[in-house]
Structure 1
Amino acid sequence: MVMCKKITASLFLCSLFFIQNALAEPLYWKAEKGAHELLIFGSIHMGTPDMYPLPETIIDHLHHSQALITEINLSDVADPQFYTTTEMTRDILNEQQKKRLSDIADELSLPVPMLLDRPSWQSALALQITQFVQLGFSPDYGIDQHLTNLALGKDISILGLETAGYQLQLFSQDNRTGRVLLIDTLNHWERNKKINRCLLETWKAGNSHQLLQLADESEIETELTERFIYTRNQNWAEKLDDPAFLTKPGKYTVAVGAMHLVGPQNLIDLLRKKGFSINRLSKSEPVDCEL
């Protein structure tokens, strides 16, 4: 799932003026400690065909890796378990907000009654994901899915930093989370379109400064940022430093949402504090997005 500092319509992330040459690459780093060498790649979870091919360095590293590590193991088809909130969308929206929901649903060709009768977090995700699809994104071109397919084809193990059930519980564990996400989605619908268009080009250019600006532009309240970003980054750093998780010496390819690799308490800085020697390998180019 798309995770960034904003936990709303930019979930999986304008007139655009884009400057990029052949040297620009998505963000990736090499992190080394003891017998382990990690290539940490900033992903986006829905994408477009023009994101490919990926840099040869990443593919070569994957082919020589003990395992591919992603946020969740997409090859695990087990049905995730999660808490179900009881507060439906129709229960939390006033008449003006319901009219806004109806207008957006018409734009996306989604049935309004279905959205009103879902928990608020499910309605928020349905709107966000459908917006990405309407903008031309597809989960089939998401980096996680692409790398998972390559790993399966080469019989490379796949490890998840967390479970799908854990991710769903982030949204469903309390009513307030869904309420905040849905209302924020409705209030910033048009702005989110511009942010999401800009996100793709910024990712392709490997521009960490612009990614951070997008995160700041999209920031949501501190409590959710702590839960969806900072706590998860801490958990991931602990796992990547745990020999019980990386049981074999050698190379590992790590792909997590690019927004987890920039800004405060990012995964790269947390691993550096744990004694990893880290070098950025990717080259970036400027991006000028009109937000």
Structure 2
Amino acid sequence: MVIHRCFLLVLLCCGMAHAACPSPPALPTTQQAAAWAAQAPDRGPLWRISRDGHSSFLFGSLHVGKADWAYPGPALRAAWAQTDVLAVELDPADVAPALQAAGPGAPLAPPLAARLEAQARAACLPPGALSALPAMLQLSVLTLMEARRDGFDAGFGQDLMLLAWAKAERRPVQALETLREQLEAIAPPPDQLPQIVDGALRQLQRGELRVPLRRLADAWQRADMQTLADYPRWCGCADTPAERAWFKRINDDRNVQLAARIAAAHATGQRLLVAVGALHMSGPQALPRLLAERGFTVEALRPAK
């Protein structure tokens, strides 16, 4: 199951837990935070993209992390120092009103809706906590809750780290997509929705998400682009024609528009640090490839080529 970036979900995931529930993260002490910030290694893939006489940077982010991951390493700090604007998938300020306007989306058959609610109870969420969300976002919340069992949390994702950094420095933030566009992208056709929800619930109910989540996080932090490129082969989330079509829709198909908007923003003379989910950097429509086709010189900084 791909984890989507929707900051309201972070709030929904924060609640009291007992021993059988995914534990909320422990916040670092002041001393721990200072040590982690001073010693942070580089994590995640990073590219310099140059055109029109100036450079921007493209960072493949992970939307969950561990407490000590929420600090930039040397390469990302250097990219930050050479840029003026942070570009991210979504502006978090747009999320809550857009979700309220969007509504719960296509309804599920009662047995499938009951299974989704049962899985929310198993994750220790209050009854009905997710019912106002579209089914695919409900699954994203449940995926985030499952990630907590291995010490990962959306609060330590790279996007939030960079947004907090930008806020502290009053750096402009530019959204590359609207929430409406993301919701339209992640919603499968109505005739495929039950199959995709059923497949994701089976993974959750069988405890089969934790291994691919750990593998994804490990590949991301090492900037292992081959493992990331092979994600559909080992995630257990793209095994059927409907699942493969859905994955292409939310990943490859969105990249075309993302590349166009990155290129347009760069063309205005802005020096961008672009942070987009790392899976968008792989596949036949990988963002570095699309930007190269648009005339950018693309230089991999991590992993170095």
Match of 1:239 among 261, 269, 274: 261
Name the counterpart of 1:160.
175
Instruction: Select between 172-181 and 206-215 the one with higher mean Cα deviation.
Output: 172-181
Aligned ranges for residues 1-291 of structure 1 at < 5 Å?
A: 2-3=3-4, 25-76=43-94, 79-80=97-98, 81-82=101-102, 84-88=104-108, 90-92=110-112, 98=115, 102=118, 104-105=119-120, 107-110=122-125, 120-172=135-187, 174-176=189-191, 178-189=193-204, 190-218=207-235, 219-220=237-238, 221-242=243-264, 245-246=265-266, 248-283=268-303
Distance in 1 (alpha carbons) for counterparts of 2:290 and 2:134 = 35
Unpaired runs of 5+ in structure 2?
6-39
Q: How much does 1:177 deviate?
A: 5.3
Report Cα offsets for 1:233-266 as digits up to 9, x if no partner. 0001111222xx3464252101000011012211
The amino acid of 2:183's aligned partner reads: L
The amino acid of 2:249's aligned partner reads: R
| Aligned-residue RMSD, C-alpha | 3.0
Contact 1:211/1:262 (<8 A) preserved? yes
Greater relative CO, 1 or 2 (CA 8 Å, sep 6+): 1
Distance in 1 (alpha carbons) for counterparts of 2:247 and 2:161 = 27
The amino acid of 2:110's aligned partner reads: R
Q: How much does 1:204 deviate?
A: 1.2
Distance in 2 (alpha carbons) for counterparts of 1:246 and 1:116 = 40
Distance in 2 (alpha carbons) for counterparts of 1:176 and 1:260 = 26
Distance in 2 (alpha carbons) for counterparts of 1:120 and 1:283 = 36
Contact 2:186/2:249 (<8 A) preserved? no
Distance in 2 (alpha carbons) for counterparts of 1:50 and 1:187 = 32
Contact 1:69/1:253 (<8 A) preserved? yes
Q: How much does 1:167 deviate?
A: 1.5
Distance in 2 (alpha carbons) for counterparts of 1:163 and 1:177 = 24
The amino acid of 2:278's aligned partner reads: A
Shift in alpha-carbon separation, 1:177–1:166, aligned structure 2, 3 A: farther
Instruction: Select between 254-263 and 134-143 the one with higher mean Cα deviation.
Output: 134-143
SS in 1 for 2:92: coil
Q: How much does 1:106 deviate?
A: 5.4
Report Cα offsets for 1:46-95 as digits up to 9, x if no partner. 211132432222123223422101111235566113254341352546xx
Report Cα offsets for 1:94-131 as digits up to 9, x if no partner. xxx94x974x4454224576668975334423322221
Contact 1:46/1:140 (<8 A) preserved? yes
For these two proteins, the number of residue pairs brought into alignment is: 260
Report Cα offsets for 1:185-213 as digits up to 9, x if no partner. 12223322100012222211111112223
Shift in alpha-carbon separation, 1:77–1:153, aligned structure 2, 3 A: farther
SS in 1 for 2:285: coil
